[in-house]
Amino acid sequence: MNQKQVQNPETQVPKTPQMNERDFLNDMLTTEKYMTSAYSVYLHEASNQPLYQEMMNIFTETQNCQRELYNLMFKKGWYKLEAADPQKLQQMYQQFQGYTNQLPYQGNVMQ
């Protein structure tokens, strides 16, 4: 295994043409990602406060469901991540830190 991969041992799934647990979870995770993205667009454009709040509640529930599915897939070893190189992280941080002077609201920039 690559030393830079962050993952749990992969749970074995049968190699059949039928959908298996991993396929179903992956499909559900993809659907939740799509839904949160669509809800986000609505939230940016909503003008009615009660509808906005209701959609925000639905968005939050969907986002939480998405995170739970991700955590389950990661726990089963079906979602792999690459460990970030600390030196590259520092370089990227410094690069983007230099862009903050280009932001219109410099007083609100998180540091």
pTM attached to this predicted model: 0.65
Can you tell me the distance from the alpha carbon of 75 to that of 67, in angstroms, rounded to the nearest whole number? 12
pLDDT in tens, 8-56: 767 777 677 888 888 999 999 999 999 999 999 999 999 999 999 999 9
Ranges 19-23, 62-66, 101-105: which has the least confidence: 101-105
State the pLDDT at residue 106.
62
Q: What span, in angstroms and rounded, lies between the C-alpha atoms of 91 and 82? A: 17
Largest CA distance in the chain: 57
Round the CA-based radius of gyration of the chain to a whole number and report it: 20
Inter-helix orientation angle 49-75/21-45, to 10°: 150
pLDDT of residue 67: 96
